[in-house]
Structure 1
Amino acid sequence: MRAVRLHGYHQKPVIDEVPEPTITGPLDVIVRIGGAGVCRTDLHIIEGQWDAAMDPGLPYTIGHENAGWVEEVGAGVTNVAVGDTVILHPTPTCGLCRACRAGQDMHCSNSRFPGLDSDGGMADYLLTSARACVKLDPSTRPEDVAALADAGITAYHAVRKAVPLLYPGTTCVVIGAGGLGHIGIQCLAALTATRIVVVDRNPEALKLAESLGAHATVVADGEQVAAVQALTDGAGADVVLDFVAEQGAENDGFAMTRPGGSYYVIGYGGTLTVPTLDIISTERNIVGNIVGTYNELAELMVLAQAGRVTLHTRTYPLDDAVQALDDLDAGLVRGRAILVP
């Protein structure tokens, strides 16, 4: 089968022919990929930023946002059958550790992360587990929902955590209306009654944000902190969801947060520099976010299949994976790029 393989850091991946995966355990599931999302994390992987944390053996297949059709199942699989349309939670989990029993799938002590620490889904087939499979309506096209497997669940997870803070009369600032942020805006509109203010440097991204439910937009032109302060009568936002968190956005995000408010970090790559006095004197919270739970992915798919959360996508054939990665890196992709084998 074809697979997008990384042979070395700071090198472009290549399309290799590799053996198809095989069933080895009773809960194994092989999925024929119908859509694989291209994520900014893939760019970070190529740069070697995840090497120390994940230590994958090179070469390996990238791709951690995957949906498709069940091709083969192990003897113990009962929740899906051959032919079912599925989206995959990004981390196949054990179900037995403390985190799994608490429903915190993303903190499973025995999980894998295909595409980061082992072979992922930018390929014709992917080996996963029954615990990772969320069954979808047969009419769902995997290419339309694949990026919800990571970008979507990550955005939804952050919004879901912030929901108790976003009652009527509050303001939530969203930094970045790109691949993750445009999903977060829709999740906010679906789950809360907060006023949504979106900050982005790209006017086209702000137009998209308005069409998705943003009540106000701010151009990131160097005066964005002051603009948010003006929109909130000088107080700042009750919640800031930072889908960028690099190139200075992380420090802007904290500065936009009101006393007693919460700054949610979803994007990454930058360094937040905050005097500890500023944290204790204003009681602002800094909240980290990574992926999300299986149940949150299932909830998100209910919204997606009802048309309340949609992905703005650009599709590429699998053989054009390098072009898709280059386009993402160059800022040429609005929404999400999806590889379709």
Structure 2
Amino acid sequence: MRAVRLHSYHKQPVVEEVPEPRAVNPFDVVVRIGGAGVCRTDLHIIEEQWASRSGVTLPYTIGHENAGWVEEVGSGVSNVAVGDTVILHPTPTCGLCHACRAGDDMHCVNSTFPGINADGGMAEYLLTSARACIKLDPAVQPSDVAALADAGITAYHAVRKAVPLLYPGTVCVVNGAGGLGHIGIQSLAALTATTIVVVDRNAEALDLAAKLGADHTVSADGKHVEAVLDLTGGNGAEVVLDFVAEQGAQQDAFAMTRRNGSHFVIGYGSDLDIPTIDIISTERNVIGNLVGTYNDLVELMVLAQKGKVTLHTRKYPLDAALDALADLDAGRVRGRAVLTP
């Protein structure tokens, strides 16, 4: 089969032939990929930012946002069958550890993360597990929803955590309206009555944000912190969802929170430098977010299949994976790039 393989850090991956995976263990599932999302994390992987954390051995296949059709199942699989349309939770988990039993999938002590520390889904087939499979309506096209498996669930997970803080009359700032941010906007609109303020430097992204439910849009032109403070009577927002968190955006996000506000860090790439006195004197919170749980993805797919959350995609054939990565890196993708093997 064809797969997008990374052979060396700081060099572009290549599309090459590799053996097809097989279902060997009882709960193995082989999925024929119908859509594989292209994520900024893939760029960070190429740049070696994940090497020390993942421990992966090169070469390997990247791609951690995957959906498709079940091709083969192990002897113990009962929740899906060959031919079913599925979206895949990004981390196959053990189901036995404390985190799994608490529904906190992302902290399973025995999980793998295809596309991060194991072969991923930028390929014709992917080996995963029954615990990662969410069965979809057969009418759903995997390429239309694949990126919800990471970009979508990550945005939804952060919003879900913020919901108790976003009672009517509050303000939530969405910092960055790209692949994750545009899902965050829709999730906020579906789950809360908060006032949604979207900050982005791209005019097209702001136009899309307004169509998706933003109450106010602010251009990140160097005066955006002041603009947000003006919109909030000088106080700042109860919640800032920072989908950028690099190149200074992470400092701006914290500056846009009010006293006792919460800065949710979702994007990454730069350090967050905050004097501790600024944290204790205002009781502001900084909250990390790592993808989301299986149940988060189930809930998100309900919203998606009801039309309340729509993924805006630009599709590329698998052989054009390098074009998709280059377009993402250059900021030419509105919404999410998706490979279609």
Bin the TM-score by the shorter chain. Answer: over 0.9
Looking at structure 1, the residues matched to 298 and 81 of structure 2 have their Cα atoms a distance apart, in angstroms, of 18
Alignment of 1:48-197 (within 5 A): 48-197=48-197
**Equivalent in the alignment of 1:39:** 39
Quick one: which amino acid aligns to residue 144 of structure 2?
A: D
Cα distance per residue 1:216-251 (max 9 Å; x no partner):
011001011100000000000000000000000000
Quick one: which amino acid aligns to residue 181 of structure 1?
A: G
RMSD of aligned alpha carbons: 0.4
Task: Return structure 1 stretches of 4+ with deviation > 2 angstroms.
Answer: none
Cα distance per residue 1:178-210 (max 9 Å; x no partner):
000000000000000000000000111000000
Alignment of 1:288-299 (within 5 A): 288-299=288-299
Quick one: which amino acid aligns to residue 111 of structure 1?
A: S
**Equivalent in the alignment of 1:237:** 237
Looking at structure 1, the residues matched to 249 and 213 of structure 2 have their Cα atoms a distance apart, in angstroms, of 22
Alignment of 1:157-306 (within 5 A): 157-306=157-306
Looking at structure 2, the residues matched to 142 and 206 of structure 1 have their Cα atoms a distance apart, in angstroms, of 27
TM-score after normalising by structure 1: 1.00
Looking at structure 2, the residues matched to 23 and 85 of structure 1 have their Cα atoms a distance apart, in angstroms, of 17
What secondary structure does 1:282 align onto?
A: coil
TM-score after normalising by structure 2: 1.00
Unaligned runs of 5+ in 1: none
Quick one: which amino acid aligns to residue 242 of structure 1?
A: D
Looking at structure 1, the residues matched to 114 and 121 of structure 2 have their Cα atoms a distance apart, in angstroms, of 7
**Equivalent in the alignment of 1:9:** 9
Looking at structure 1, the residues matched to 55 and 328 of structure 2 have their Cα atoms a distance apart, in angstroms, of 24
Looking at structure 2, the residues matched to 120 and 274 of structure 1 have their Cα atoms a distance apart, in angstroms, of 36
Looking at structure 1, the residues matched to 245 and 124 of structure 2 have their Cα atoms a distance apart, in angstroms, of 33
Unaligned runs of 5+ in 2: none
Looking at structure 2, the residues matched to 202 and 18 of structure 1 have their Cα atoms a distance apart, in angstroms, of 39
Percentage identity across paired residues of the two chains: 77
Cα distance per residue 1:280-317 (max 9 Å; x no partner):
00000100000000001000000000010001100000
How far 1:23 moved relative to its partner?
1.2
Looking at structure 2, the residues matched to 120 and 273 of structure 1 have their Cα atoms a distance apart, in angstroms, of 34
Quick one: which amino acid aligns to residue 249 of structure 2?
A: A
Looking at structure 2, the residues matched to 204 and 16 of structure 1 have their Cα atoms a distance apart, in angstroms, of 35
Looking at structure 1, the residues matched to 312 and 89 of structure 2 have their Cα atoms a distance apart, in angstroms, of 20
How far 1:55 moved relative to its partner?
1.3
